[in-house]
Structure 1
Amino acid sequence: MTTLASVSRTTPVAGPPARFGDLLASEWIKMRSLRSTPWVIAFTVLFVVGSAAVATLSDTAARSGPAEFLPYDAYPAAGYLTLILVAGSMGALTVVSEYSSGLIRTTTVAVPARGSVVLAKAAVTAAVWTATGTIASTGSFLVSQAVLNGRHAGALITHPGVFRALVASALLAPVCALVGLGLGVLLRHAAATMVTSVFVLLMLPTMFSESNRWSADIKHTLVSAAWKRLIETWERGPDSLAYTATVPGSWIVYVLWPLITVALAVFAVRRRDV
C-alpha cells in the first residue's frame, strides 16, 4: 500500500508558476551581476560622446566660413557604428553566455515557459540599452552644441530634424541589442552569433549602394541605413542621383528588426529542445 509519505518523497510538489515580474527581476539580477556590463556601457558612452566632440571640433576648425550644426558631427559614424557593434554583441551575450555555461538548462527547468524567459530577457535588454542610448545620444548632442555655441552656431532641439536625430540615435542601441539577442537565441553559439550580428548590422549595408533602385531598396531595409536616414536634417534635392529612403519607412525598419528577431527567438525556443 502506498502511503502519503512515500508519494511526497517520490513526487515533486509543483510550486506556483513564475510571474513575469519575477522573470524580469531574475534577468535584471543576471545582467547586473556581470561586472563587465557597467564598464562596457560606461566606456561605450564615453567613446560615443567623445567622438562627437572630436568630430565637431575637427569640422569647425576645418571650415573657414561660419560654423553650423551638422548631424554627422553630433552623431558621427565612428561613435555610432561602435555603439551598434557593442549593443549587438552585448545583446547576444545575454543569451549565448547561458548556453555556453549550461545555465540555460537550470533556467528552463525552473521556468518551463521558455517563451516568457526570452521575452523577459528582451524587456530587460531593451530597458538597459534604451537608457544607454539615451545618455549617449543626449550627451553627443550637448557636447556638440557646447562646441558650436562657442562660435555662436548652436542649434535648438526644436530645429527641424534635430529631435528626430536625437531619438533615432538613442533607439539605435536597443534595436541592435534586441537583434543580437534574437540571433543569440536562434544560433546558440557565441562565435556564430557575433559574426552574424556584425555582418548583418555593420557589414551588409556596405555591400549595397543607393545609385541603383534594387540595391537601394535592400539597403533601406537595414538598421544602420535607416539610422543614417533618420539623422539627416536636410532633404535631398530632385537632382540627387541616389534613391533616398523615406523617414516613415526608416522608422518601420527600426520596429520590424527587433520585433521579427525576438518573435523568431520565442518561436524557436518553444519548438526545440535546450
Structure 2
Amino acid sequence: MTAVLDKTPARLPARESARFRHLLIAEWIKLWSLRSTCWVLGVGALTVIGINVNSAASNADRLAHRSLMPPEPPPGGPARPEPLFDPLHTAFVDPAWQLLVIIAATVGGIAVFGEHSSGLIRTTFAAVPDRQAVIAAKVTVVSAVMLALGTLVSGTSFGVTQMLLREYGGLSLGDPGALRAVAAAAVLAPLCALVGMAVGAAVRHAAGSIVTVIALLLLIPALLQGERYRWVKEVGNAMPLSAWERLVTNPERAHDLGKYPLTITEAWIVYGAWITAAVAIALLVVRRRDV
C-alpha cells in the first residue's frame, strides 16, 4: 500500500499535461458531430472555388475572342480602349470570398452559441471548471479546421484559375504578390471564424450572433468606403475585408488605391489585431459571464 501511494504523486503531472489534449479531442468531436458542419464547409468550399473558376473561364473566353478581333479600329471609327486584365483578381473574386467570410464566421459562432442554446455548456463547465481552457481548445480546433479550409480553397482557386489563364498571363506562386495573396486569403477564414466565436460568446443567440457578425464583417466595411473624410476611410481600412483586398492586390498591375490606402504591413497588422481581439474577447466573456 505504501508503494502504491508513493507512486501516485509521480503520475499527477502526466495526467495534468494530457488534460488539454483531451479538451481538443472533445471539441473536435463536437465540431464534427453535426452533419451540417460537413455540408456547410464542403458545399461552401466548392461554391467559392466554382465562382472563381467560372470567372477565370469567362475571362479566358473573352480574351480568346478579343484576340480574333482586328487589332486596329475601322477608319474614322472611335479607338477601342484596351482593358487592363489582372489574372490574379480572377482567383479572388469579391462575391466568392465574401461568401467564405459568412461561412467561416457562422461556423465559428456555432461552435460557441450552439452549446449555449442546447444547454450543453453547463455539462461542459461542470466537467471542466476551467472555462478559459475550454475556450482555448475551441479556438485551437476551429482555427486549425478553418485554416485548412482556407488554404484548400485559396490554393485550389489560384491553381485552377491561373491554369485556365496560362495563355493570357496566368501567374505562378513565384510571381510578385501571388504567394502573399494566397496566404492572405487562407488566413481570412480562421480570422472570420474567430470573430464569429467572439460574437457568439457575447450574444449567445443563433440569429443575433449571425446577423451581428455579418454586419460587422461585411455591412460596416461597405459603409466606410468613402474618401471625403479621412477618418471614415481610416476606420474602413481597419476592417478585415479591407485588409484582405489590399493583400490580394496584384503589385504588377496599375491599380488605383485611392486616397489614404493601406500599406502591406498595415494590412497584416489589421489581421493580427482582429485575431488577437477576437480571442481575448471570447476568453474574457466566458470568464466574466454566468452560463
Query: Could you state the TM-score of these two structures normalised by the residue count of structure 2?
Result: 0.83
Checking the alignment, whether the CA contact within 8 Å between 2:86 and 2:250 is kept in structure 1 is no
- Once residues 253 and 239 of structure 2 are traced to their aligned partners in structure 1, the CA distance between those partners, rounded to angstroms, is 20
1:119-268 matches, within 5 Å, as 119-149=136-166, 151-212=167-228, 213-234=230-251, 241-268=258-285
Structure 1 runs not aligned, ≥5 long = 1-15
The Cα of 1:240 is off from its aligned counterpart by: 6.0
- Pick closer, same or farther for the CA change 1:130–1:240 going to 2, 3 Å: closer
Indicate yes or no: 2:68 matched with 1:51: no
Given the alignment, which residue of 263, 269, 273 partners 2:286?
Answer: 269
For 1:246 and 1:153, locate their aligned partners in 2 and report how far apart those are by CA, in whole Å: 26
**Deviation of 1:126 (Å):** 0.2
For residues 186-205 of structure 1, the C-alpha deviation after alignment (integer angstroms, 9 at most, x for no partner) is 11111111111000111110
CA separation of 1:68 and 1:194: change in aligned 2, threshold 3 A: same
Coordinate RMSD, CA, aligned: 2.1
Provide the rounded CA distance (Å) in 1 between the counterparts of 2:211 and 2:50.
27
**Any conservation in 1 of the 2:87–2:171 contact (CA below 8 Å)?**
no
Q: Distance in 2 between matches of 1:261 and 1:88?
A: 12
SS in 2 for 1:157: coil
1:234 CA drift (Å): 2.1
Summarize the Cα distance change of 1:211–1:112 in structure 2 as closer, same or farther, 3 Å threshold.
same
- For 2:171 and 2:91, how far apart are their aligned partners in 1? 11
Q: Could you state the TM-score of these two structures normalised by the residue count of structure 1?
A: 0.88
Conserved 8 A contact 1:27-1:120? yes
5+ long unaligned stretches in structure 2: 1-14, 68-82
Count the aligned residue pairs.
258
Deviations 1:58-100 (A, max 9, x none): 2233342599553221111111000000100110001111000
Amino-acid identity (%): 40
